[in-house]
Amino acid sequence: MVEKREIESLVRKHIESKFSSRKQKEYIVAANWKMNMSAKETRRFIEKVKEEKIPDYLKTVIFPPYPYLPIFQEMLRYDKITYGAQDVAKEEKGAYTGEVSAAMLADLGCSYVLAGHSERRNYYGETPEIVARKTAAALRYHIRPVVCIGETLEERQGNRYHEVLKVQLDAVRQEIGDALSDCIIAYEPVWAIGTGVIPGLDQIGETHRFIHELLVSYTGISERASRILYGGSVNEKNVKDIASVQFVDGFLIGGASLKAENFMNILRLLRVDGS
């Protein structure tokens, strides 16, 4: 006769083994260097990060300034650490002085491109339509766009942020249709970028859910196919808490990605073994 306690223990073991064999959640951890670093610092950074044991469930992407992309191509050719550009031209080719096309980025081995970072929208007049065309240009060359969307503080306080985020996403959808499901979305509240201020976890959760539901309603993509990163003052102190929020699939990190040690600490904090 089997004791009730033994049965309970067996059931518990069974549940635990199911739980531990469950696939580890993947995070995309992306570094946006903006207009920082030198060639020498870039090489040193890559050397250090390459030494780090990064598990497969932490997809690491670095967005250096354009001139350093060839260094990434040279040093990361057979590495699982990937890289991309911070911007791309909306046009294919031709007389567009100063622009860099998606074809050129593909030549340089870029897997990703940022589209519509708030600094581009605010300082360089990128409208939602321009961002949408840049997104489409990247997709034509099989480069995965990370489309950045976010509201200002005024829009948040005026409770207009849903509307603002929807306008930004709608423009992309209008341009590329269901290919929106091939994009990664980075939710970056403008008021959190470089300020040291982050939204409450409940605000991040609510906004990510809103974006997720919008994506699902647009593209019918499955529950887990949407990829929504959070960006804005992410650092070693807050990354774990934000990672626990539903529909947060990774991070776009500015300031805290400029020192290899800080960036690697963030990766370590996201490892299941935490080491």
Catalytic residue numbers read 117, 188
254 touches ligand PEP by CB under 6 A = yes
For ligand PEP, which is the closer residue by CB, 185 or 219? 185
Tell me the number of residues near ligand PEP by CB under 6 A.
13
Residue 71: partners with Cβ closer than 8 Å, 6 or more residues away: 39, 42, 43, 46, 64
232 touches ligand PEP by CB under 6 A = yes
253 touches ligand PEP by CB under 6 A = yes
The backbone torsions φ and ψ at residue 180, rounded to the nearest 5 degrees and listed phi first, read -55, -30
Stretch 13-52 residues interacting with ligand PEP (CB under 6 A): 32
Q: Which residue has the tokens 């309970």?
A: 8
Instruction: Read off the amino acid at residue 211.
Output: I
Q: Which residue number is nearest to ligand PEP in terms of Cβ?
A: 254
Stretch 145-204 residues interacting with ligand PEP (CB under 6 A): 188, 193-194
- Which residue blocks in 118-200 are alpha helix, DSSP H? 118-123, 128-140, 153-157, 161-176
Residue 89 near residue 138 (C-beta atoms within 8 A): no
For ligand PEP, which is the closer residue by CB, 64 or 255? 255
Question: SS3 of 225, please?
Answer: coil
Half-sphere exposure of 33 toward its Cβ, with a 13 Å CA cutoff? 24
- Measured from the CB of residue 58, what is the shortest distance to ligand PEP in angstroms? 17
For ligand PEP, which is the closer residue by CB, 31 or 58? 31
Stretch that binds ligand PEP, among 20-28, 168-176, 206-214, 247-255 (CB under 6 A): 247-255
d(CA 83, CA 60) in angstroms, rounded, equals 8
Which residues make up the interface to ligand PEP (CB under 6 A)?
32, 188, 193-194, 231-234, 252-256
